Chain A
Amino acid sequence: MAATTGTAPAVQPLDRQAMLKEAGATGLVIFALAFGLLGFRTLDVPGGIDIQYRFGDVAAAVVIGILGRIALILLREHRPLPVLLTTAPLAVVLLVMLLAKFLFGPETGAELMRFLPFESLVVMWAILIVIVVLALRAARSQTHIASEMTVEDRDARMDRIGAKVQRAARRLGPVLLGIAIIFPFLPFADRRLLDIGILVVTYIMLGWGLNIVVGLAGLLDLGYVAFYAVGAYSFALLATGLDVSFWVALPFAGLMAASAGVLLGFPVLRLRGDYLAIVTLGFGEMIRIILLNWYEFTNGPDGISGIPRPSFFGLAVFKRSVTEGHTFHEMFGLQFTPIHRIIFMFYLILALALVVNLFTMRIRKLPVGRAWEALREDETACRSLGINPRNTKLTAFGIGAMFAGFAGSFFATRQGFISPESFVFTESAVILAIVVLGGFGSQIGVVIAAVLLIGLPEFFRELQQYRMLAFGMAMVLIMLWRPAGLLAHREPTIRLFGKGAAKEAEP
């Protein structure tokens, strides 16, 4: 609801009827949604399932929705004062009630909490945030501190921020890398933190891999997890069936995934945008269903277990003792602790991710990379310049898939067990969300988004069930607010004049 002008707008008389109509419509929509979603809850009771009715919650949701809508309308019609006067005290009251446990001790806290409209604290906090945002907007509007920006202004500003972050990234990158390298030896880096670190870096790697396909080549691939699965299964089958070591199986798994990428790429070459997305989504599911049903080969839903752990470059193993060969701790004269293996894993995935990053940075400046971007911009023009769109797209699919395959191998060896359940559509969605949130084509954006989307939720395990909800909300906000992604800013791959000249030329 960006105002079109920066000047103080004339306040027009309020059309109460229209306002009530709009608020009523909102109420109806919320009722329709909440009735099904909130109204009933199944309970496990001895001997079956019982239904609990929560019509109070539905009513509360409708009332809150209507009030919120009215507040928004008032803000839009430049009447911030009533909004400010109601939301500000309400926010304070809510905050006190929510923190009552800490402020007045558990008993009074529980007493006060009974007055809250919803049982779930998460929902209450969400409502509180909404109210605070409303209050802030009302306050800003009331004091005319900030003239509202137009969408273009905001885009331009965000692009400048994006550019700044990317410029900073050149310095920030090595710093982040340094932190990542010493991370396992930091005093607070316990096993749990290391595990989270490994997970985050895995997703960073997947995000970077998908960024080649989606960000550079502009091919919206919703089935990326399929190649992750192909890599994981290739690795697992090789390692368990043929006793191939990690370092031999890894490139092979990447190759298999790349072949799968090219193979699946062929039929979708002519498709663009939404159609491509739907077909790749279908392919992703197909691979998973094949893995699930080809029992003789993949062991179906039971998965593959006993996948060997990687050795220390084939020189030593991470075990307390072995009958033949060397153990890592003896080789380096250390005390045995299982954390050695975890640290090694961390470095392994870090190295793999860095390979992807370096590769991407390099290939952007090569003819293929530029052709990918050109293809994203205009395929017809590419044809008129003699660029082979088929080969160019297939290399993007293939290379993206290969990196997913590497990540898949790592996943398999880290878990020691894989099953089709690890490769559901949600994974594709999460990886895509990281790319979209970070900004198509932005390497540092992917890092930040992966930390936000993967790292943070791991710390708030209790809120796991709300993770997809938060994802969805974040996506909707991004699409509304900045469709190109948070840090989308494209650095040219080549310049005629140096960087300094470019800055001078900027207004």
Chain B
Amino acid sequence: MSAETAIAEGATSPDLLGPIPGGGEAQLTVEHLTMRFGGLVAIDDVSFQAADARITAIIGPNGAGKTTVFNCLTGFYKPTVGRLALHHPKGEFLLERIEGFRTAQAAGVARTFQNIRLFPRMTVLENLIVAQHNKLMRASGYTVLGLFGLKRYREAEEKAVELARYWLDRTLLTKAADQEAGNLPYGDQRRLEVARAMCTEPVLLCLDEPAAGLNPRESQVLNELLLFIRDEHKMGILLIEHDMSVVMGISDHIVVLDYGRKISDGTPEQVRNDPAVIRAYLGEDEEDEPAGETAAGPESAAREGEERDA
């Protein structure tokens, strides 16, 4: 079915023929995405689809170009070449044409960052209220009416607090609501960033290494949160992750990048057994389960990537 959609839209990449691994309707169609920085080709002609209400993982060794894909999707970079179509309830958005903050505002693409970017000196609740800026701005009559404390704005703010409360409960942060975000433990900050992204009421959620630096227990909590978002909110999630236990455990569909190219694309089972992935990602000799890599690999890998981000 998704193949038909892709063909109907004039997809030119053979990658996009056939159903999406892991099932589901296509929500995001990336075609021939290429991003060059001067002479460096960070992403080289990558095409893939991500399905609605599914978790699509993008994995690959350090410097493979994963974060760059996110930056292109979320309006931080303008791709050199490529078509990024988002199927939105309001119609189709071509993300490569939307710039900067409008991607989040109009197209409803929310993201988190590889190195956490909260508003550290604002409270947890305030972080979640700021995420609902555009909605509240309208309710406050672009400040003018809000200055006079109109009822409409007060009600809108109460609603915003309710939504924040909902996500606080889901991310187990309710108790910390009035604390400064910067004082939270690391794992809580990671979850808060997810909660903040969800408070923008997005259609597509892009998470850049949300499990980096988490201990196994926190990692488990995060897995459950992501599954909850997928199943209860029927939301498509794009997930960059080094932690194989997370990736293999919860994703429906995995896209593997290496040196900016797509080297594999399939269900976790397919990718796990793909010789190209084992060669590029896990090292030549490793015939074991990819899980063997997780013990030491991801932590240090994530650290190295920490410095460079949008």
Return the chain A residue nearest B130 by Cβ.
Answer: A374
Among A359, A382, A496, contact of B161 (Cβ-Cβ < 8 Å): A496
Q: How large is the interface on B (under 10, 10 to 19, 20 to 34, 35 or more residues)?
A: 35 or more
Residues of chain B within 8 A (CB-CB) of A380 are: 76, 113, 117, 310
| Residue A388, interface by CB 8 Å | yes
- Which residues of A sit under 8 angstroms from B136, Cβ to Cβ? 367
A322 within 8 A of B: no
Instruction: Enumerate chain A residues within 8 angstroms of B113, measured Cβ to Cβ.
Output: 380-381, 384
CB <8 Å contact, A377 and B137: no
Q: Is B110's CB under 8 angstroms from A384's CB?
A: yes
What separation, in Å, do the CA atoms of A334 and B97 have in the docked complex?
Answer: 72
A368, B111: Cβ atoms under 8 Å? no
Contact A502 to B178, CB < 8 A, known contacts A367-B140, A374-B119: yes
Question: Which residues of B from 83 to 137 have beta carbons under 8 Å from A?
Answer: 100-106, 110-111, 113, 117-123, 125-126, 129-131, 133-134, 136-137
Residue in chain A with minimal CB distance to B135: A367
Chain B residues, CB < 8 A from A362 = 147, 149
A-B contacts, CB under 8 A, total = 127
Interface flag for B248 (CB, 8 Å): no
Given contacts A367-B136, A371-B130, A385-B130, contact A497 B178 (CB under 8 A): yes
Residue of A nearest to B164 (CB): A496
Contacts of B149 in A (CB 8 A): 362
CA distance A389 to B179 in the complex (A): 25
Output the nearest chain A residue to B196 by Cβ-Cβ distance.
Answer: A385
Inter-chain contacts of B196 with A (CB < 8 A): 385
Q: Please name all residues of chain A whose beta carbon is closer than 8 Å to the beta carbon of B133 when the two chains form the complex.
A: 367, 370-371, 374, 385-387
Question: A43 at the A/B interface (Cβ < 8 Å)?
Answer: no
A269, B196: Cα distance in complex, Å: 25
Task: Using CB atoms, name the residue of chain A closest to B148.
Answer: A362
**Which stretch, A311-319, A446-454, A487-495, touches the partner chain B?**
A487-495
B273 at the interface (CB under 8 A from A): no
With A386-B105, A387-B101, A496-B125 already in contact, the answer to whether A368 and B137 are too (CB < 8 A) is yes
What is the 8 Å Cβ interface bit string for chain A, positions 347-371, against chain B (1 contact, 0 not)?
A: 0000000000001001100111011
Given A386-B102, A496-B177, CB of A378 within 8 Å of CB of B119 = yes
Render A473-507 as a binary contact track against B, CB cut-off 8 A, 1 for contact. 00000000000000000101111110001100100
Q: Does chain A have a CB within 8 A of B200?
A: yes
**Interface readout for B212-228 with A: 1 if CB under 8 Å, 0 if not?**
00000000000000000
Q: How far is the CA of A56 from the CA of B59 in the complex (A)?
A: 74
The docked-state distance in angstroms from the alpha carbon of A495 to that of B125 is: 7
Determine if A490 and B121 form an interchain contact, defined as CB atoms under 8 angstroms apart: yes
Q: How far is the CB of A408 from chain B (nearest CB, A)?
A: 23
Whether the Cβ atoms of A381 and B117 lie closer than 8 Å is: yes
User: What CA separation (Å) do A241 and B64 show in the bound complex?
Assistant: 67
Write out the residue numbers on chain B whose beta carbons fall within 8 Å of the beta carbon of A381.
113, 117-119
A41 within 8 A of B: no
Contacts of A377 in B (CB 8 A): 118-122
Q: Does B47 contact A (CB under 8 A)?
A: no
Please measure, in the bound complex, the distance between the C-alpha atom of A373 and the C-alpha atom of B119, giving whole angstroms.
8
Give the residue name and chain of the B residue nearest to A384 (CB). Answer: B111
In the assembled complex, B23 has its CB within 8 A of some CB on chain A:
no
Q: How many residues of A contact B (CB 8 A)?
A: 33
Q: With A363-B143, A363-B147, A502-B178 known to touch, is A385 a contact of B200 (CB < 8 Å)?
A: yes
CB within 8 Å for A494 and B137 given contacts A366-B146, A370-B126: no
Contacting pair B131 A385 (CB below 8 A): yes
Q: Which residue of B lies closest to A378 (CB)?
A: B117
Contact of A383 (CB < 8 Å), options: B76, B153, B175: B76
Q: What distance in Å separates the Cβ of A400 from its nearest Cβ neighbour in chain B?
A: 14
B74 at the interface (CB under 8 A from A): yes
CA distance A381 to B140 in the complex (A): 22
Question: A380-412 vs B: 1/0 string, CB under 8 Å?
Answer: 111111111100000100000000000000000
A181-B118 Cα distance, complex, nearest whole Å:
43
CA distance A395 to B134 in the complex (A): 15
Contacting pair A359 B101 (CB below 8 A): no
What distance in Å separates the Cβ of B136 from its nearest Cβ neighbour in chain A?
A: 4
Asked whether any CB of chain A lies closer than 8 Å to the CB of B230, the reply is no
> A492 contacts which chain B residues (CB < 8 A)?
122-123, 125-126, 178
Contacts of B175 in A (CB 8 A): 505
B170 CB-CB contact with A under 8 Å: no
Closest to B139 in A: A367
**Per-residue A-contact encoding for B174-205, CB less than 8 Å = 1, 0 else:** 11011100000000000000001100100000
A158 to B101, CA, bound (A): 37
In the docked arrangement, what's the CA distance between A43 and B103, Å? 68
- Is B125 in contact with A359, judged by CB distance below 8 angstroms? no
Q: When chains A and B are docked, how far (Å) is the Cα of A371 from the Cα of B133?
A: 7
- Cβ of B78 within 8 Å of any chain A Cβ, yes or no, is no
Which of chain A's residues have a CB closer than 8 A to the CB of B143? 363, 366-368, 395
What 4 A-B pairs come out closest when comparing CB atoms?
A386-B105, A386-B104, A496-B177, A377-B119
Q: Could you list some 23 contacts between A and B, CB below 8 A?
A: A366-B146, A367-B136, A374-B122, A374-B130, A377-B119, A377-B122, A378-B118, A381-B117, A382-B101, A382-B130, A383-B75, A384-B76, A384-B104, A384-B110, A384-B197, A389-B101, A395-B143, A492-B122, A493-B126, A495-B178, A496-B161, A496-B164, A502-B178
Mark A residues whose CB is within 8 Å of B. 359, 362-363, 366-368, 370-371, 373-374, 377-378, 380-389, 395, 490, 492-497, 501-502, 505
Known pairs A381-B113, A494-B123, A494-B157 / 7 extra A-B pairs, C-beta < 8 Å:
A362-B147, A363-B143, A368-B143, A370-B126, A373-B119, A496-B125, A496-B168
